[in-house]
């Protein structure tokens, strides 16, 4: 991943809100989402974030003064989903980013500024939808710390299964229940087996949990029967979002053997609306490492380039905002914080393994990274880890505690990247509210 003029920390925009130090969406970011004005019957179309504004790219595409290649990319963004734009390929992705950067830069010519100003919409006045037509969704399980923490709760001895250190483990998820930030999450019903009970019972989940993850959007398709090397894989990924893989733990423990989760995972997945491109994330690469006493990857999962810059340093936090906190005007409680750079497998290794059996990938496919937990206290990416499956409930303030997520709770994921010498960029929020299943 090469650095270019769009990563210059000294660059600023004539959109003054984009220059605030804590802004998620400075000119160095320029993520994409699908939006419309709140409460309107407008068609959803692509928007680009800059400061506290959304640029209506469909409106901007109508400006005849823009160069032809930029207009072609903008016209593709006027469709109801981003699939058509993604299918144009990496040259178009980079071209849109570079072209919009020039239009938004502080030294842009007055006519360029005038064209873009006409397409600006206040971010507080819009609503979002899922940005791409997702054909398939695969969720991985790639945090060694998460595997250890959860494994200790359900298995004695070595909590990590033998295959974890050799293979990026994953399961296929359900697309129909993926929703964008703000999603209402219905508490699922299912079977569970209580300790000491002779038979399972059916009813509402009693151990509802969140999972802090990133989502990866596939931007280039692969045909059935083909494979991707680790070095090829990242060129097929367009960008990254925040992802909450809601989990019904009591249902999960009963149904997982021998084929894995089903009802425990298929009821809701919440994603943040903004897709941060891999181009924007280039400055926040780290060396990907594997402990010397751990098995080293098999050749098809190994790469010098992956070793040099395969890890992504995305900082992450989980907050919980209870109904009581909201009613009293109190802020949310921060539950944990960590970084994606701790993940045992890289994003390139995940996609390379996904295709290694000849599985075709389609434009718009979504890949979940699995729960992101770190090694330190307070770095767990799921409540089951923080509360040790309810044995040590988490204090969220003012006398409230949580073993698992309760009805009325809003779970909020936040993410950002920062590094000396580069601008801070953010992912916005991914939030979902738990409510009872409709009668």
Write the burial class of residue 65 (CB in 10 Å: 0-12 exposed, 13-18 middle, 19+ buried): exposed
Tokens of 399: 């006398």
CA atoms within 13 A of residue 306's CA, in its CB half-sphere: 24
Q: What is the DSSP string of 255-289?
A: H-TTT--STTTSS-EEE-S-BEETTTTGGGEE---
User: Which residue is catalytic, options 7, 146, 353, 354?
Assistant: 146
SS3 15: coil
Contact residues for 94 (Cβ-Cβ < 8 A; gap 6+): 279
Contact residues for 403 (Cβ-Cβ < 8 A; gap 6+): 207, 383, 387, 389, 390, 393, 394
Angstrom distance (rounded) from CA 52 to CA 274: 13
Tokens of 343: 């993940």
Is 7 an active-site residue?
Answer: no
CA dihedral defined by 87, 180, 58, 86, rounded to 10 degrees?
-10
Tokens of 102: 């020039």
Closest CA to 281 of 245, 244, 230, 241: 241
Residue numbers annotated as active site: 146
């Amino acid at each position: 991943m090469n650095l270019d003029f769009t990563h210059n920390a000294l660059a600023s925009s004539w959109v003054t809100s984009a220059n605030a130090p804590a802004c998620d969406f400075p000119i160095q970011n320029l993520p994409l989402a699908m939006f419309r004005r709140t409460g309107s019957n407008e068609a959803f179309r692509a928007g680009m974030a800059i400061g506290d504004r959304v640029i209506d790219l469909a409106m901007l595409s109508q400006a005849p003064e823009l160069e032809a290649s930029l207009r072609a990319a903008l016209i593709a963004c006027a469709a109801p989903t981003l699939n058509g734009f993604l299918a144009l390929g990496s040259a178009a992705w980079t071209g849109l980013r570079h072209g919009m950067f020039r239009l938004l830069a502080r030294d842009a010519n007055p006519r360029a500024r005038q064209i873009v100003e006409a397409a600006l919409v206040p971010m507080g006045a819009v609503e979002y939808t899922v940005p791409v037509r997702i054909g398939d969704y695969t969720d991985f399980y790639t945090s060694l710390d998460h595997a250890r923490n959860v494994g200790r709760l359900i298995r004695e001895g070595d909590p990590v299964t033998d295959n974890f250190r050799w293979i990026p483990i994953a399961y296929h998820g359900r697309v129909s229940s993926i929703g964008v930030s703000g999603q209402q999450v219905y508490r699922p019903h299912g079977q569970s087996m209580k300790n000491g009970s002779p038979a399972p019972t059916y009813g509402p989940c009693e151990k509802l949990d969140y999972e802090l993850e990133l989502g990866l959007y596939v931007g280039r398709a692969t045909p059935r029967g083909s494979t991707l090397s680790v070095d090829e894989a990242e060129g097929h990924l367009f960008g990254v979002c925040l992802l909450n893989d809601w989990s019904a733990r009591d249902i999960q423990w009963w149904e997982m053997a021998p084929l894995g989760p089903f009802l425990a995972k298929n009821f809701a997945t919440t994603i943040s609306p903004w897709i941060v491109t891999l181009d924007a994330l280039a400055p926040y690469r780290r060396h990907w490492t594997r402990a010397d006493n751990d098995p080293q990857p098999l050749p098809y999962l190994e790469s010098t380039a992956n070793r040099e810059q395969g890890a992504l340093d995305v900082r992450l936090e989980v907050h919980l905002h209870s109904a009581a906190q909201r009613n009293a005007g109190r802020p949310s409680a921060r539950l944990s914080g960590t970084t994606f750079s701790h993940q045992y497998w890289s994003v390139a290794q995940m996609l390379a393994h996904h295709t290694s059996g000849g599985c075709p990938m389609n434009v718009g496919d979504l890949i979940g990274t699995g729960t992101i937990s770190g090694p330190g206290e307070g770095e767990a990416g799921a409540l089951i880890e923080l509360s040790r499956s309810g044995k040590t409930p988490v204090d969220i303030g003012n006398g409230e505690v949580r073993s698992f997520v309760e009805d009325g709770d809003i779970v909020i994921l936040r993410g950002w990247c920062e590094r000396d010498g580069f601008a801070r960029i953010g992912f916005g929020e991914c939030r979902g509210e738990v409510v009872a299943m409709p009668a």
